[in-house]
Amino acid sequence: MSGEMVTFKNGVKGIALNLEESSVGVMVLGDYTRIEEGDTVTATGSLLRVPVGEAIIGRVVNPLGEPIDDQGPILTNKTRALESIAPGIAGRQPVDEPLQTGIKSIDAMIPIGRGQRELIIGDRKTGKTAIAIDTILNQKGTGVICVYVGLPRKNRPRPRSSTSCAVMVPSTTRSSSRPAPATPPLCSMSPLTPAAPWPNTSCTSRASRPW
């Protein structure tokens, strides 16, 4: 089915996107250079899910929810579908408590409430990330859980090509820097048994190259 997780022979994961009559397009989530023509691909029968719960607080994870902070596995049996519908307005708690950034000029002029959405707009190198980091650090001891998400870019021959992705809590802050992966490729696969239904078949990759 579309959006189903698949696993390559070397353990790299992917998402089935384009379901054609004789082939399946898969977006590779991992090191596509380890995939070779002829590798077996197995359907998992489940959609993309990530671990959730108290065990993930304070950990550094990748987009699949896998730990990359060398602190061992995340011990939780709770998962949540990555593509899920957000709660409606009526189902959310009201915003009735302020949140301070720790920056006096902002706290004096801009009212910010816990739970509300706040957009920071500005050109490059104007301090948008600095405001967010200062706000995270200012929540120490308040009980507010802060999550920092770094968006990766392609590897470039510059020191700034790495990306940081960290999950932080008020009492501890952890961060980790990993090289940003290149743009994930699409892998075209042909079912070994075309007559069998897709969820119960294994596939063989025909191509593996970047877009």
What letter does residue 94 receive in the DSSP assignment? Answer: P
What is the distance between the alpha carbons of residues 201 and 40, in angstroms, rounded to a whole number? 10
Residue with tokens 């023509």: 37
CA atoms within 13 A on the CB side of 36: 3
**pLDDT of 19:** 84
**Angle ∠(32,6,209) on CA atoms, nearest 5:** 25
**pLDDT of 154:** 62
Reported pTM: 0.60
In contact, 201 and 43? CB cutoff 8 Å: yes
Residue 113, Cβ neighbours under 10 Å: how many?
A: 13
What is the distance between the alpha carbons of residues 28 and 6, in angstroms, rounded to a whole number? 9
Give the pLDDT confidence of 26-37 residue by residue, as tens digits. 989 888 888 888
**Dihedral over Cα of 4, 62, 113, 170: its sign:** positive
Give the pLDDT confidence of 172-208 residue by residue, as tens digits. 444 444 444 444 444 444 433 333 334 333 344 444 3
pLDDT category at 153 given cuts 50, 70, 90 is low
**pLDDT of 208:** 38
Q: Which domains does the chain have, with CATH numbers?
A: 4-47+183-205 (2.40.30)
Closest by Cα among 174, 183, 185, 178 to 58: 174
Residue 40 has pLDDT above 50, yes or no: yes
